[in-house]
Amino acid sequence: MHKLQNSCAILFVSILVFTAPSFALDTIGSNISTQVNSDISYRYKYLRVTHTVNPESDNTTVYDWSAVVLKQSALEDMKQTSISYSTSAEKAEVLEAFTIKADGRKIAVPRGNFQLEVDSNLEEGVPPAFSDESTMTIVFPELAVGDTVALKYKISQKEQYFPGQFSVLDVFGRSMAYDEVVVKVDAPTAVNLRYETPGFELKSQETRDGRTLLEWTYANKEALKNTYTSSSVFDFGVEPGYAISTFDSYADIAKAYGTRANAKAAVTPRIQKLADDLTKEKLTPAEQAKALYEWVAENITYAGNCIGVGAVVPRDLDFVLDNNMGDCKDHATLLQALLTAKGIASTQALINASGSFTLPKVPSVQAINHVINYIPSLDLFVDSTDPSMPFGRLSAIESGRPVILVDGSKPDAKTPWIPSDYTQERVEITANISADGSAEGEAKHVLKGFSAISGQMRLKDLSQEKIDKWTKSLLKGFHLDGTVEFVRGDEGDNPEELVMVFKFKVKKLVEIGNAHGMDIRPLLIRPALLQFAARSLQDENSEHDFACAGGITEEVYHLSFPPNVKILSVPDNFSDKNEYIVYDATYRTEKNRIEVTRKLSDVTPGPVCKPAVADAYKQMAEKMMGDLKAQIVYK
């Protein structure tokens, strides 16, 4: 089963989502299970959020929440609650903070229990280069299991991220218990406010003194068990939450971003010289674009995200080049400038590189967390923040996702998905067995696709000493005594294909004498087919859509037994298929030579599979397991 793990990519922007303790609202990633979780460690008595929209001045958000500690495991986290915000763009103010003892006593948090950590520059008055995040930690006094913490604080914008606009998105996973959630919005009536609030109930809507007042409520008194896995898809709307925005469309978000980003991509004399130097011997636009991409990917390291307005505005390119460092916006802006210098049109593209394959209907800035480039003349998306990715190839976490072009926006545009035959793995084992049970031969491992890319990166700077330690560990892991020589079986010029050959001599591969059974498993290489089957059988989650892609896995064996050994039986040929998987296994015997071929072709189209697909994987795995456990019997 080719499930794809999801993980968060580089943040493009993270604004206006300052929830209660950082561990408490594990928003996207909760569940829709129907199984009640009676073992929760804390629960919210109330959570009240008020967003006040002021397009011409400052937007503010007030968070007011109270949570009771039910178990010791939550005590330490609840005792120290943190609020993070941008020093340059925001102001944080604690309005109330109390410990409420189980007997009803109310203990105010003393001022000495507040600690502030600020990312700052050593030089006074100069903003920090990469992050101006401030973290305020509040330590609640005398807190014990059964007590309640209560905190009310306000975040005010000193400088708007996108002037004149407002956007917020939050999700409330049903694995958390909330006795009461209230979300209010106070906005000018003249503002065209859009909102989407799955799972919430609209309690009131009124107009007063030129302002619109909206209030929604939600409750989840019984927390449910979290049944999501690392490959689950987390589209907005599956869980309760809200998205509120003044943007008319995602194209408008891209335009607002591009207004400042495109200006940073100007072709200066320095940029022009660099582009010319890097493309001296490159004749075609494709060759030039590839050279520029590879230089940025290899030479500009990724720097931690800045926040504040820098979260949505790239840095000056002189700064990026002077420091050989930048975040995703800086990478995209630099590459855009270099391409422009060579007359190659490109645009930056905004994307959600996470576990979601859709965007909220309401245009939400928070739904975008990464920036890449698009080259229309080549019809290629590229991301120079990942130096392992070849030119024109995106990682799995960026593939098949909605993408918003800063220039030349196209409705419903998506990055290309992974071809079903892109990921391939082939294991070929040749073993010549001697009369005493010793053997020599080779194990060849051929990887194509993402596993080849990551393998190339791991081998890139591997010293001979580390290779020797690695091969010794392989022998130990397979309980073999002998020697292994590792050699590359490819030229190394195709980053999407890797061939590794392990030449071995081992003292005891099989037992010789009485009748024995021999497992047909890869030597010195992980048993991919067996792992596939075992993982599919162990996967109990069948409730959620998941990220998936096709692939091909093959094992081939050439086994030669000595003349003093008689082959008593080999497994029968086996073949089966369903809508998603084709599996074939063939066994041929000629004298004392056995040829085995096992092949699994996963034709799952992806990028999103329904739970029924996982069930089909499991059914196939049950059938495969019998074949994979079959043995050669000899005497």
pLDDT digits (tens, 9 = 90+) for 509-541: 998 988 999 999 999 999 999 998 998 888 765
213 — phi, psi (to 5°)? -115, 120
Asked if 347 and 406 count as a contact pair (C-beta separation under 8 A), the reply is yes
108 — phi, psi (to 5°)? -70, 145
Mean pLDDT over residues 294-301, rounded?
95
Q: At what angle do helices 528-538 and 611-628 cross, to 10 degrees?
A: 130
**Per CATH, which fold does 42-246 belong to?**
Immunoglobulin-like (2.60.40)
Mean pLDDT over residues 163-182, rounded?
94
pLDDT tens for 415-433 read 999 998 899 999 999 999 9
pLDDT at 22: 24
Q: Which residue has the higher pLDDT, 128 or 139?
A: 139
pLDDT tens for 238-264 read 999 999 999 999 999 999 999 999 999
pLDDT at 426: 96
Any idea how long the chain is? Answer: 635
pLDDT at 349: 96
Q: At what angle do helices 269-278 and 285-299 cross, to 10 degrees?
A: 110
Q: Give the pLDDT band (50/70/90) at residue 168.
A: very high
Asked if 387 and 456 count as a contact pair (C-beta separation under 8 A), the reply is no
pLDDT at 9: 33
Predicted confidence (pLDDT) at residue 149 exceeds the cutoff of 80: yes
CA angle 266, 261, 396 (to 5 degrees): 115
Predicted confidence (pLDDT) at residue 134 exceeds the cutoff of 80: yes
How many other C-beta atoms lie within 10 A of the C-beta of residue 482?
A: 15
pLDDT at 125: 54
> Percentage of residues in the chain with pLDDT exceeding 70?
91
At 355, list the tokens.
């576990």
pLDDT at 28: 33
Mean pLDDT over residues 9-17, rounded?
31
Class at the top of the CATH hierarchy for domain 252-405: alpha beta
Label the pairing between strands 301-302 and 325-326.
parallel
DSSP-derived secondary structure letter, 92:
E
pLDDT at 34: 61
> Percentage of residues in the chain with pLDDT exceeding 90?
72
pTM of this structure: 0.88
CATH 2.60.40.3140-classified regions of the chain: 42-246
Q: Residue 416 and residue 37: Cα distance in Å, rounded?
A: 39
Single out the residue of 510, 387, 537, 382 nearest to residue 441, CA to CA. Answer: 510
Mean pLDDT over residues 111-136, rounded?
74
pLDDT tens for 65-113 read 999 999 999 998 899 999 998 888 889 999 999 999 999 999 999 999 9
DSSP-derived secondary structure letter, 367:
G
Mean pLDDT over residues 269-278, rounded?
97
Q: Average per-residue pLDDT in the chain?
A: 89
Predicted confidence (pLDDT) at residue 20 exceeds the cutoff of 80: no
By CB atoms closer than 10 A (0-12, 13-18, 19+), residue 285 is middle
Predicted confidence (pLDDT) at residue 496 exceeds the cutoff of 70: yes
CA 472 to chain centre: 33
Single out the residue of 408, 409, 347 nearest to residue 372, CA to CA. Answer: 347
Predicted confidence (pLDDT) at residue 448 exceeds the cutoff of 80: yes
Q: Residue 392 and residue 360: Cα distance in Å, rounded?
A: 27
pLDDT at 129: 64
Cis bond upstream, residue 607 (ω within 30): yes
pLDDT at 117: 86
Label the pairing between strands 567-569 and 574-577.
unpaired
Asked if 630 and 561 count as a contact pair (C-beta separation under 8 A), the reply is no
Q: Residue 325 and residue 120: Cα distance in Å, rounded?
A: 18
Predicted confidence (pLDDT) at residue 308 exceeds the cutoff of 70: no
pLDDT tens for 184-233 read 999 999 999 999 999 999 999 999 999 999 999 999 999 988 888 878 88
Asked if 223 and 40 count as a contact pair (C-beta separation under 8 A), the reply is yes
How many Å is the Cα radius of gyration of the chain?
29
How many other C-beta atoms lie within 10 A of the C-beta of residue 619?
A: 15
Asked if 423 and 548 count as a contact pair (C-beta separation under 8 A), the reply is no
pLDDT at 198: 96
Instruction: Give the strand order in the sheet containing 516-519.
Output: 516-519, 631-634, 567-569
CATH 3.10.620.30-classified regions of the chain: 252-405
At 334, list the tokens.
């630099």
Q: Residue 450 and residue 613: Cα distance in Å, rounded?
A: 22
